[in-house]
Structures are given as structure tokens and as C-alpha cells.
């Protein structure tokens, strides 16, 4: 089956006003392909830092990160950009949709960067928007969509190009419980039907309840790692 993510002795120290702040400390983590993992912990526990390091959005102070067999910690900025484009999908708390583009154009954007032709982009975007229940709203811009609808567009954009791994940071934080539940069921379906590996950072119980595996961080260390089902 193999592993999508392997972290070894991963540490990250930030320097603020001559003070060293240790955000992560000697973290070891293995995420098998197709896993559905939740990183939990209080604010400042290191979960977002860990997510950002795995996604190549930040560099570790020490340690190793392997994603899909490639050493992320050894990559140049150009190699990281290519890796993110070809292997990763991102879902953020603030949706991060492009306001001047329609829902469909937002979903097509990553495929456009990948050089996929217009006809195929359009067909794949329409198919994934139908799958997330937005086939009649694809021509609306983000401002004309509810928070739950915007986050579903963000998930569609994250998975449309077939990434092996989706990283989600507090994806339900701006949603009510009904929309949060809907989003998590959607992610669960994508995990089961498409084999996409999910790593989700959250402090919300609703998200933790949906995870197959719950990893709890405290003060930059993993303090528990449990299979829930």
C-alpha cells in the first residue's frame, strides 16, 4: 500500500524578537496511502505548523519529510511549487477562492496551471461540481455563494486534479454544524471513492468524530495517536 507521508525527527523553531519559539519538536509520523487523519490540539500545539511543513509551505529547522517518495525538505522553491501543483490539494479556513472567477473557473484554475486543455478542464470541473452538489451554481462568483457552498468549491478545486494528498486547515471553522457535517461527509466520500489521503488540522469535535485516525498534539509533540475505526 505504501505511505503518502513520512516525517522523521521533524522540528520547527521560530524566532520572534530574539526569542526562540519551538513550534514542533522531534515529530515522527507515518500516514499510509488512503488514510483519513485528524490533527487535533489547542491553539499553539503545532498542528498548523505540521500541516504547512508537509505541504512545503514552510521549511523545517531539522528533520525529514517525504511525500509520495520525494524528500520535501530537500526541494528548491521551484521543485516545491511543482510538487504542490501535481501531488497536493489544499483547503483553508478562509476558502481562498479567487473573487473575480466563477465557481467553475476557480475549480479549473489549478488544471489550467497544469496545462490541461480547455475542453478537458471544463468537463472535469463540471463533473466534480456535480459530485459536490453545485452543478446549478457553477457560474456564480464566490460573493454570490454561501460559506458552505464556497468551501465545497474549495474542496472540488483541491481534488479535481487527482492529488494523492489533501491538506485541510480548520476547514469547518467558518461553517455552521449542518454545513460542516455536509463538508466532512463529502471529504469522507472522496477519501473512500477516490482513495485521496486527507490530513485535517482542527480543534472542532465534529471533525475529530469523522476521522479514521486521531492524532493529538501538545506543545509541538504528538501525545496520542489513535485509530477510531
pLDDT band at 213 (very low <50, low <70, confident <90, very high): very high
Average pLDDT, the chain: 88
**The pLDDT value given to residue 116:** 87
Cβ contacts of 12-21, under 8 Å, gap ≥ 24: 12/46, 12/49, 12/53, 12/58, 12/60, 12/61, 12/220, 13/61
Listing DSSP states for 87-126 in one string gives HEEEEETT----TTS-HHHHHHHHHHHTT--HHHHHHHHH
pLDDT band at 173 (very low <50, low <70, confident <90, very high): confident
Q: Is the pLDDT of residue 134 over 90?
A: no
Percent of the chain with pLDDT over 90: 34
The three-state secondary structure class of 70 is strand
Q: For residues 5 and 111, give the distance between their C-alpha atoms in angstroms, rounded to a whole number.
A: 24
Q: Is the pLDDT of residue 32 over 60?
A: yes
- Tens digit of each residue's pLDDT (9 = 90 or more) over 1-26: 567 899 999 999 988 788 888 889 99
Section 165-169 average pLDDT: 91
**The pLDDT value given to residue 61:** 93
- Tens digit of each residue's pLDDT (9 = 90 or more) over 62-121: 999 999 888 999 999 899 888 888 888 888 777 788 899 999 999 998 888 888 889 998
Section 208-221 average pLDDT: 92
**The pLDDT value given to residue 20:** 85
- For CA atoms 156, 68, 194, 40, the dihedral sign is negative
Section 136-153 average pLDDT: 86
**The pLDDT value given to residue 1:** 52
Helix 147-159 vs helix 177-194: angle between axes, to the nearest 10 degrees?
10
**The pLDDT value given to residue 38:** 94
Residue 143 per-residue DSSP state? G
Cβ(226)–Cβ(52) below 8 Å: no
Q: Is the pLDDT of residue 178 over 90?
A: no
- Beta-carbon contacts of 181 under 8 Å, excluding residues fewer than 6 positions away, are 206
User: Containing H/E element for 190?
Assistant: helix 177-194
Fold of 3-99+145-227: Rossmann fold (3.40.50)
Residue 134 per-residue DSSP state? -
Residue 18 per-residue DSSP state? T
Give the closest residue to 201 by CA, choosing from 216, 182, 185. 216
Section 161-183 average pLDDT: 85
**The pLDDT value given to residue 2:** 65
Q: Is the pLDDT of residue 49 over 70?
A: yes
Q: E strands within 107-191?
A: 165-169
Amino acid at each position: 500500500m505504501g505511505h503518502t507521508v513520512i516525517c522523521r525527527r521533524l522540528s520547527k523553531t521560530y524566532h520572534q524578537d530574539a526569542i526562540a519559539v519551538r513550534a514542533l519538536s522531534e515529530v515522527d509520523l507515518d500516514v499510509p496511502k488512503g488514510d483519513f487523519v485528524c490533527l487535533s490540539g489547542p491553539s499553539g500545539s503545532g498542528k498548523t505548523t505540521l500541516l504547512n511543513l508537509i505541504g512545503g509551505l514552510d521549511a523545517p529547522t531539522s528533520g525529514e519529510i517525504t511525500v509520495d517518495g520525494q524528500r520535501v525538505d530537500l526541494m528548491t522553491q521551484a521543485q516545491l511549487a511543482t510538487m504542490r501543483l501535481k501531488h497536493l490539494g489544499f483547503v483553508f479556513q478562509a476558502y481562498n477562492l479567487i473573487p473575480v472567477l466563477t465557481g467553475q473557473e476557480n475549480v479549473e484554475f489549478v488544471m489550467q496551471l497544469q496545462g490541461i486543455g480547455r475542453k478537458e478542464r471544463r468537463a472535469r470541473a463540471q463533473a466534480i461540481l456535480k459530485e459536490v452538489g453545485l452543478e446549478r451554481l457553477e457560474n456564480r462568483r464566490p460573493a454570490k455563494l454561501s460559506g458552505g457552498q464556497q468551501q465545497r468549491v474549495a474542496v472540488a478545486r483541491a481534488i479535481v486534479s487527482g492529488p494523492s494528498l489533501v491538506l485541510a486547515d480548520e476547514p469547518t471553522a467558518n461553517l455552521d454544524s449542518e454545513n460542516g457535517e455536509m463538508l466532512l461527509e463529502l471529504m469522507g466520500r472522496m477519501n473512500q471513492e477516490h482513495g485521496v489521503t486527507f490530513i485535517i488540522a482542527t480543534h472542532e469535535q465534529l471533525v475529530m468524530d469523522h476521522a479514521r485516525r486521531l492524532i493529538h498534539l501538545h506543545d509541538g509533540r504528538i501525545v496520542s495517536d489513535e485509530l477510531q475505526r
